[in-house]
Structure 1
Amino acid sequence: MPSIIDKLRQRIHLASAGAEVFEVPMPDMSLAGVCRRIESQGLFVIGAARTGTTILQNALNDSHAIFLFGEPAFHNEGDSEDFAARYNAMHRSWGNQENKSSYCPPLFEEDASWYAYLARLAQTYRYVGSKIVINPLEAEDRASELFDFHCRHFYASRYLFTFRNPLDVLMSTRGLAELNGGTVSTYAEVIKGYFVVVQLFFRVLRNLPHVEVVFHEAVEPATFRKLESWLATPLPHAGDYYSGSKVRHYELTAVPEPHRPLVAEAVDLYDKLKRETLAGFELIQIEQNSGHFDQNHFTALGQLSRDVSNFLRTIDAPS
């Protein structure tokens, strides 16, 4: 972005009374340079579609210390310098009104790359980042890409996963696709994509330093007190964004009978995930071998990881 760098150079050159010019070192405005400077300010909300990522992003964006973009796909952006134009056009095409979650403000005289905007916003906000939604049909590839990208560029950032009962996710995902006239994923595809995100949560939890989780139907005042402590940032109005009357729940009878055993198993596994996660995992760094025969060899996290992997292997998602 030559125009931005040229403007910065004009501001940081100090001329002495003579001909000498003293130059303050330029900040590295490359992707790697920007991410090195701001990675500790990174905050990313991650979840499968219809798990409460949007409302959690909105609740966090209510803070004057947080700015999270809505689904910008940074990992696919590259060095393109028209980020704001494309991002804002995307949200307009979705019919979204302008707020922090849906609008990139014109911070430069000309457009710029996504990481230039993050660097500029990081001068104002304590945390900057995005909401990341992983859809069923791309879940495995997307989860792998995201893990590699965030390890490379945002290792020291904070990651907040959000989960919701998979039965509710299943019915909401398929219902929304039918309403919008889009491709409707099969029951198996939605469930498989959901637990791929659970696997990603385990992977991030075990390998990156700052990870938390929110269970959508279990949000209460204590949830945001915990997040306030984790972020060292007040979130005085975050809880106001949640209303139990707006969270729709489904019965297993809403699922066609041939698919009920799969969904029932998914719900049981989710209940175990929620119970063990809220209790708090211990000994996260014990090396677990999935081939152990004796259940006593596993920590709670190790057993959950094994259960999810075995469950995914049983799913035969139709094309």
Structure 2
Amino acid sequence: MSNVIQLNARRPGFGPLRGLAALIDGFASHRRFGDDVFWLKENAELLNILECTGQAPGQEALEPHLAFYTDLPERLRFFPQYYRFLLSICLDLEDLGMPGGTGAELADWVAGQRLPEAELSDLQRAEARRLLARRGVAMSSRDAGLTARLHDFISRSQTFALPNKKAAYELSHIVFYLSEYGRRAPDLPAEALVSLEYAGLLAYLEQNADLLAEICVAMRYAGATPSPIWENWLAGAMGAFSLRSGAQADMQDDYHEYLVCAWAGLAARRGAPAQAVAPGPVSFHRTAGWSGPLREISECIYRMGAARSGDWHRMRPQIAAQLSETGHDILTEAEASSPRFDAFFAGFARSSLLRVAG
């Protein structure tokens, strides 16, 4: 776990996704419509993963986005509140093979309007900075301390020993932005790698494939190797997906989990998903598996009150006795997946917080 590896500058050669043209057209034309913010979200996520995994769909496969691409300057002027979605889609389309130079125009306009200065969140400012930099545009010098603040957040490992999905997703995205999606070494503090490991342990204990996939990709972009226990489980989760097409497609689906599990498999050089995407409407559904024992473990130690301890070896028999056989197996696998499990549990048990100041 967490052995340092060499980053590639561009990280090509992930292998092609099967039915790539149909996948792009399905998201562009058959799930939602261009004036729907969820259309923007879904297509930005898909195109981003395709671009950062070195997919090469070709100009013809990007044709469903041509009208949207052509309209982007006017759309951005009317919807500046969506500038990150719009700029991301534009840049990814161009970098995937769409002819044109609209991305540089949009980046200049966003910077000129100082739109990133309207962001309250450092995470969103980091995303904006990374997007502008893709076309050589610098963000305002007023954000000179942004990287230091991001490092402060991701280095507070105790934050990520507690269940907090928002913080965990922010952690993974910060690593994405600082590493330029695997193109450069992000020079993270050592504590940030511990944070990623803790967040991964929580995701595994919850059996949350969506979050764990993002954590594993972030670890690889940070120059670390995720636990094979985690990546093997994600490969199994990927294999549990079924694709529905045509009239059977249901857009209340698990598309994001499918995309990030595929991304994690590609990042780990395990190959593309086996299923080829059919033309037309398509949806992605994962067969429900066992839920993880995270909630049961948390409830167990909460009921202990002042008797709980951060000493994992002392607490383990009491916790294990409360779990089902499957829950116990998942806990055992989580324990085996990280040499830092004891330290993680000390934070998870909140033993240092038992006495709350009055």
Q: Which TM-score applies when normalising by structure 1? A: 0.29
Q: Which one has the bigger helix percentage?
A: 2
More strand per residue: 1
TM-score by length of 2: 0.27
